[in-house]
């Protein structure tokens, strides 16, 4: 996806909404504005698109409910505010989405959930299952248990990491500015909006500044960093004013609003680069001719029945090589089962996994989304 004309074909979209928008500048949740974004997401769902919502606002809403005028510095006070505010946030989304006959699911994530391989696979599998069920996942950082200050860095970063995890086509970051400007428009009203730029353009770094709202933890610098992070999986990013009429549907239709950050590579190449070069191999699986043919010609997942031998010691989520019977590597991917479990289920149909292990995480040994061919 390298131009706005490709947006109408976007299948999986991540939408991130910041605190200043959600809470009307800190006065509690702006239900009227939220209803507008929910209606637009519902329209995208009716078009057959998968949408994940990454929502800020729990701390800001908690502050409003508790009558606090300034964001506290104490970690435990921040966590308390998040706990209080999360209740209102979830209630609001549940009722507004249900008005469009859409189910929602609350997902609270910490940094470890998207960096530790086993937890990454677990969270990813849950999100994909929810999307397959037609549910709109509402994701926020698990502020109540966060120990590194209280953040990923901000929910812009969280949105980008979710985009990486799900190989999203498009990340839309809604903010209280129209997009990324050449200079801060609040200081220089003549500053021009950047409509489009390559994500790795060094000039972008000179344009960004810190947040001034006092509510959110971001600012344009974190949105630019999020765009760069999302681009690692080939995801395009649009930074755009959340108060624009029908902003989400207009962006997805390819209208030139906001700032479009073009990723430097396509999703398949980015995914292959990540799997093939940035993770250490922990083991190997030897495949029979049938499994080799299915992987090469059909692009399907690797099932246990096609594995004839296992070597190395690996856990769920570790990177393993897939070898043919002559020992040549043909693919590599993230294992859904440990080396010991794989030895128990290899050469067996997926229908026997529960019988052999006492449980089943996935019917595939390596899902096709977590597997790349090695030329």
CATH of the domain at 131: 3.40.1160.10
Q: Specify the higher pLDDT residue, 146 or 323.
A: 323
Q: Is the pLDDT of residue 284 over 90?
A: yes
Q: What is the total count of domains within the chain? A: 2
Mean pLDDT, residues 241-257 taken together: 95
Query: Checking phi first, is residue 347 left (phi over 0); if not, alpha (psi -120 to 50) or beta?
Result: left
Residue 61 domain-assigned? yes
Check: CB of residue 223 under 8 Å from CB of residue 155.
Answer: no
Report, in this order, helix, strand and coil percent for the chain, each rounded to 5.
40, 20, 40
Question: Of 68, 193, 54, 63, which Cα lies nearest the Cα of 137?
Answer: 54
Check: CB of residue 114 under 8 Å from CB of residue 120.
Answer: yes
With 0.85 as the threshold, say if the pTM is over it.
no
Same domain, 79 and 224: yes
Check: CB of residue 337 under 8 Å from CB of residue 348.
Answer: no
Residue 273 domain-assigned? no
Q: Which of 63-67, 185-189, 217-221, 291-295 has the lowest mean pLDDT?
A: 217-221
Same domain, 211 and 338: no
Q: Specify the higher pLDDT residue, 148 or 63.
A: 63
Instruction: Give the CA dihedral 127, 132, 138, 139, nearest 10 degrees.
Output: 10
Per-residue pLDDT, 275:
63
Same domain, 153 and 236: yes
Last residue of a domain, one of 216, 246, 267: 267
Q: Specify the higher pLDDT residue, 217 or 113.
A: 113
Most confident range, picked from 42-56, 130-144, 221-235:
42-56
Same domain, 236 and 349: no
Q: Identify the band that residue 3 occupies on the pLDDT scale cut at 50, 70 and 90.
A: confident
Q: Is the pLDDT of residue 276 over 90?
A: no
Check: CB of residue 171 under 8 Å from CB of residue 130.
Answer: no
Last residue of a domain, one of 267, 296, 330: 267
By residue range, what is the domain housing residue 312? 279-373
Same domain, 168 and 63: yes
Dist. CA 226–CA 220, nearest whole Å = 10
Q: What is the mean pLDDT of the chain?
A: 86
Same domain, 204 and 283: no
């Amino acid at each position: 996806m390298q131009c706005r004309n490709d947006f109408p074909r976007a299948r999986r979209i991540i939408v991130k909404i910041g605190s200043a928008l959600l809470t009307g500048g800190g006065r509690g949740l702006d239900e009227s504005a939220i209803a507008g974004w929910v209606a637009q997401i519902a329209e995208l769902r009716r078009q057959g698109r998968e949408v994940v919502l990454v929502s800020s606002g729990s701390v800001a809403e908690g502050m409003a409910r508790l009558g606090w005028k300034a964001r506290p510095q104490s970690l435990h006070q921040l966590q308390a505010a998040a706990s209080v505010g999360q209740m209102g946030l979830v209630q609001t989304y549940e009722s507004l989405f249900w008005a469009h006959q859409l189910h929602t699911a609350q997902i609270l994530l910490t940094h470890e959930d998207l960096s530790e391989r086993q937890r990454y696979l677990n969270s990813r599998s849950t999100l994909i299952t929810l999307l397959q069920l037609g549910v709109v996942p509402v994701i926020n950082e698990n502020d109540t248990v966060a120990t590194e200050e209280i953040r990923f860095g901000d929910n812009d970063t969280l949105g980008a990491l979710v985009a990486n995890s799900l190989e999203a086509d498009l990340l839309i970051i809604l903010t209280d500015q129209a997009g990324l400007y050449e200079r801060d428009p609040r200081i220089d009203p003549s500053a021009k909006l950047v409509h489009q730029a390559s994500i790795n353009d060094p000039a972008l770094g000179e344009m960004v500044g810190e947040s001034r709202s006092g509510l959110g933890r971001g600012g344009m610098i974190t949105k630019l960093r999020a765009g760069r992070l999302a681009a690692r999986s080939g995801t395009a990013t649009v930074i755009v004013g959340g108060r624009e009429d029908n902003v989400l549907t207009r962006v997805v239709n390819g209208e030139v609003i906001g700032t479009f950050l073009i990723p430097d590579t396509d999703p398949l190449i980015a995914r292959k680069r990540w799997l093939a070069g940035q993770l250490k191999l922990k083991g190997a699986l030897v495949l029979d001719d049938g499994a080799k043919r299915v992987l090469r010609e059909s692009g399907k997942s690797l099932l246990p029945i096609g594995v004839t031998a296992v070597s190395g010691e690996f856990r769920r989520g570790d990177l393993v090589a897939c070898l043919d019977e002559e020992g040549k590597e043909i693919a590599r991917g993230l294992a859904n089962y440990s080396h010991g479990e794989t030895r128990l289920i290899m050469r067996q149909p997926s229908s026997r996994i529960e019988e052999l292990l006492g449980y089943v995480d996935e019917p595939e040994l390596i899902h096709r989304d977590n597997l790349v061919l090695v030329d």
